[in-house]
Amino acid sequence: MSVAGIRAWAARHAERRRYSPVGIAFHWIMAALVIFQLGWGWYAGRLMAGGDKLHAYEVHSAVGLPILILAIGRLVWRIVIPGPENDADRQGVQTQIAYAIHYIFYLCFFGLPLSGWAMWSSVAEPGPLYLAGVLPWPQLPFHDLPLETRWQIMSAAESVHHVLVLVLFVTVPLHVGAALKHHFWDRHDVLRGMLPEIPDDVDPRPASEHKPRDPGILGT
Ligand code: HEM
Ligand code: HEM
């Protein structure tokens, strides 16, 4: 399929003010991974030094590295396929903040795995990084550098990782809170456009084309 064909396919979803199924899959897979990483990273950080802690960080890295691969795919997708216009696009300050948070998220999708990778590569023996726990992942080429430089890289990467983690701990609740407010309070179409479409067994047309059901006995 050509790029024009993919764009036309995605535009059919955007016309109905919805993200495409690909955009939706990227969003929810990455949201789940990021939320897991925030919880697991926090838990790993609080374990006593030892085998359990090392294993916890190996799990953390195995789950985190796929985020880097997904981020590349998602960024390309996002550049080629614009998101839909929806009730949240009102050009006010709130819209600008929402867009800024989306940019920050993309920054974190790259910055966290890259800084985590740099941390491992600056101190660990060549070895224990695996993509999703199965595919061996190379170290960055730091092992021939002087020990002092490696420690400086470690410390800089750790600072970047911690700052981005803090940023996410603030912005994710804002983002989730705003999505829920749009949906339940303002009754906007924003969250619906990011949820998978479940066909109705009575009326299989997309939800946006539904006519209200015959109220039947309840309406009388
Ligand atoms: C979006 C992805 C990621 C998120 C949200 C995330 C989140 C976190 C969190 C919450 C902590 C605990 C910080 C603390 O104890 O104060 C942490 C620590 C850490 N993460 Fe990640 N992480 C991600 C990706 C990665 C990746 C891909 C790697 C390795 C390849 C990695 C390696 C580490 C390491 C080594 C630490 C310990 C840092 C320290 O010395 O405190 N992280 N991460
Ligand atoms: C339960 C949690 C979440 C809900 C209910 C939610 C909901 C939404 C909604 C409704 C949108 C569309 C916004 C619009 O078009 O104006 C959106 C976009 C977005 N969300 Fe979430 N989200 C959640 C978690 C997350 C997490 C954890 C992340 C990653 C840190 C994330 C990253 C993004 C990004 C990057 C976009 C922009 C999409 C794009 O155009 O590329 N979301 N989210």
**CA dihedral sign of residues 146, 151, 152, 156:** positive
- Strand-pairing partners, residue 135, are 131
Minimum CA distance residue for ligand 2 atom 26:
31
> Is the pLDDT reported for residue 2 higher than 80?
yes
What residues contact 160, with CB distance under 8 A and at least 6 apart? Answer: 111, 115
The reported pLDDT for the residue numbered 219 is: 44
- 211 pLDDT above the threshold of 60: no
- Cα(177) to ligand 2 centroid in Å equals 11
Q: What is the mean pLDDT of residues 23-29?
A: 97
In the chain, where the domains are located: 3-196
Pocket test for ligand 1, best of 47, 48, 161, 164 (most atoms within 8 A of CB): 161
pLDDT at residue 87, rounded to an integer: 87
Q: Which ligand is nearest to the CA of 184?
A: 2
CA atoms within 13 A on the CB side of 125: 3
- Residue 62 to residue 77: CA distance in whole angstroms: 24
CA distance linking residue 173 with residue 163, whole number of Å: 16
Judged against a pLDDT cut of 90, whether residue 168 lies above it is answered with yes
The predicted structure's pLDDT at residue 220: 42
Token pair 């985590």 in the structure block, residue: 116
What does the mean pLDDT of the chain come to? 89
Q: Which atom of ligand 2 is nearest to the CA of 191?
A: 10
Is residue 57 within 6 Å of ligand 2 at its C-beta?
no
Neighbours of 13 (CB within 10 A): 20
103-156 residue pLDDT tens: 999 999 999 999 999 998 998 665 667 787 778 888 898 888 999 999 999 999
Give CA–CA dist 43/39, Å, rounded. 6
User: Which ligand minimizes its atom distance to the CA of 40?
Assistant: 1
pLDDT at position 131: 80
Pocket of ligand 1 (CB under 6 A): 34, 37-38, 41-42, 45, 57, 60-61, 64-65, 67, 112-113, 116-117, 119-120, 158, 161-162, 165, 168
Q: Kindly tell me if the per-residue pLDDT of 201 is higher than 70.
A: no
**CATH among 3.30.565.10, 1.10.1740.10, 3.40.470.10, 1.20.950.20 for 3-196:** 1.20.950.20
Judge whether residue 8 has pLDDT over 50: yes
Separation of CA 19 and ligand 2 centre (Å): 11
- The region, left, alpha or beta by phi > 0 then psi within -120 to 50, assigned to residue 171 is alpha
